Structure 1
Amino acid sequence: MSEEILINVTPRETRVAVIENGMLQEVHVERAQKRGYVGNIYKGRVQRVMPGMQAAFVECGLERAAFLHASDIVRPAPAIPVEGAEGNGHAPTPPIGELVHEGQEIVVQVIKDPIGSKGARLSTHLSIPSRYLVLLPYSRMLGVSARIEDDDERQRLKELVAELAGENPLGYIVRTNAEGQSREALAFDVTYLGKVWRVVQENIAKARVGERVYEELSLPLRALRDALHEGVEKVRVDSRETFERVLKFVNKFMPQLADRVEHYPGERPIFDLYGAEDEIQRALNKEVPLKSGGYLIVDQTEAMTTIDVNTGGFLGSRNLEETVYRTNLEAAQAAARQLRLRNLGGIIIIDFIDMTDAEHQQQVLRQLEKALARDHAKTTVYPMSPLGLVEMTRKRTTESLERQLCEPCPACNGRGTLKTAETVTYEIFREITRAVRQFEAEKLLVMASAKVVNRILEEESAAVAELEEFIGKTIRFQAEEHYSQEQYDVVLL
Structure 2
Amino acid sequence: MRKIYLQTKTAHQMIYDFEDGHLKNIKYQKAENLQVGDIVSGVVHQVDQRLKAAFVDIGQSDLAYLAFDQVYNGQVHKGERLILQVERLATKTKKASVSSMIQLKSDALVYLPLENSINISNKLNADEQVQLKEKLDQIVDHGGVVARTVAGQLSFNELKEQYTHLKSKWDIVSRHHQSKGVILKEQSLFNQFLQSVSHSGVDKMIVDDLDKVQAFKQSFDHLSHLIQYDRQFYSNKPISITELYEQLSNRHVKLKNGAAITIDQTEALTAIDVDFGSFKDETSKHPPYLDINVEAAKESAKQIRNRNISGAIVIDFLNMKTKREQQMVMNVFRDEAENDDVKVHVVGFTRLGMLEVTRKRVNENVYQFLGVDERSLAKYDTFSYKELEENLLVYEANPDVDCVLVEVEPHQIVNWKTMIEKIAYRHRFHFECYIGQNNSLHAPYKLYKIGDVNWLLSRQEEGQLNIDKVF
**Under TM normalisation by the shorter chain, which class is it?**
0.5 to 0.7
Bigger Rg over Cα: 1
1:223 partnered with 2:188: no
Specify the alignment match of 2:222 in structure 1: 256
Which of 130, 144, 154 is equivalent to 1:171?
Answer: 144
1:140 counterpart residue number: 116
Contact 1:24 1:276 in 2 (8 A): no
Name the TM-score, length of structure 1 as normaliser.
Answer: 0.56
Contact 1:299 1:306 (C-alpha < 8 Å) held by counterparts: yes
Q: What is the one-letter code of the residue matched to 2:336? A: A
Shift of 1:339: 0.9
Post-superposition offset of 1:204: 8.0
The answer as to whether partners of 1:354 and 1:387 remain within 8 angstroms in 2 is: no
Q: Is the 8 Å Cα contact of residues 342 and 400 (structure 1) preserved in structure 2?
A: yes
Equivalent residue number for residue 403 of structure 2: none
Matched residue type, 1:141:
S
- How many pairs are equivalent? 355
Amino acid at match of 2:106: S
Where do 1:465-476 residues align within 5 Å? none
Contact 1:7 1:16 (8 Å CA) reproduced: yes
Counterpart code for 2:305:
R
**CA separation of 1:405 and 1:206: change in aligned 2, threshold 3 A:** closer
Distance in 1 (CA, whole Å) between partners of 2:19 and 2:129 is: 30
How far off its partner does 1:138 sit? 4.0
Q: Does the CA-based 8 Å contact 1:289-1:296 persist in structure 2?
A: yes
- Out of 231, 238, 246, the residue aligned to residue 265 of structure 1 is 231
Does the 8 Å contact 2:71/2:100 carry over to 1? no
Distance 1:406 1:379, change over 3 A: same
Alignment map for 1:51-450 (pairs within 5 Å): 88=72, 126-130=102-106, 134-142=110-118, 155-156=122-123, 164=132, 166-167=136-137, 168-169=139-140, 170-173=143-146, 183-184=152-153, 193-197=162-166, 199-200=168-169, 214-225=184-195, 227-231=196-200, 233=202, 234-250=204-220, 255-266=221-232, 269-270=235-236, 272-273=237-238, 278-317=243-282, 322-385=287-350, 387-408=352-373, 414=375
State percent identity of aligned pairs: 20
Looking at structure 1, the residues matched to 225 and 155 of structure 2 have their Cα atoms a distance apart, in angstroms, of 22
Q: Distance in 1 between matches of 2:348 and 2:5?
A: 36
Q: TM-score, normalised by structure 2?
A: 0.58
The answer on whether the counterparts of 1:110 and 1:122 sit within 8 Å (CA) in structure 2 is yes
What SS does the corresponding residue of 2:15 show, helix, strand or coil? strand
The AA in structure 2 aligned to 1:281 is: E
Q: CA deviation at 1:247?
A: 2.4
TM-superposed deviation, 1:388: 3.1
Question: Could you report, residue by residue, the CA deviation over 1:44-84 in whole angstroms, capped at 9, with x for unpaired residues?
Answer: 9xx9xxxxxxxxxxxx9x899x99x9x99xxxxxxxxxxxx
SS of residue in 2 equivalent to 1:269: helix
Question: SS at the partner of 1:355?
Answer: coil
Cα drift, residue 26 of structure 1: 3.4
Counterpart residue type for residue 221 of structure 1: N
2 CA distance for matches of 1:320 and 1:158?
44
Would the aligned equivalents of 2:84 and 2:98 in 1 still touch at CA under 8 Å? Answer: yes
Give the residue type in structure 2 aligned to 1:18. D
Q: 1:329 to 1:187 in 2, by over 3 A?
A: farther
**Superposition CA RMSD, Å:** 5.3
Cα distance in 1 between the residues matched to 2:34 and 2:76: 35
- Distance (whole Å) between structure 1 residues aligned to residue 253 and residue 339 of structure 2: 20
Structure 2 spans left out of the alignment, 5+ residues? 44-57, 91-95, 379-439, 441-471
Q: Distance in 1 between matches of 2:232 and 2:239?
A: 14
Deviation, 1:364, is 2.0
Q: CA deviation at 1:316?
A: 3.2
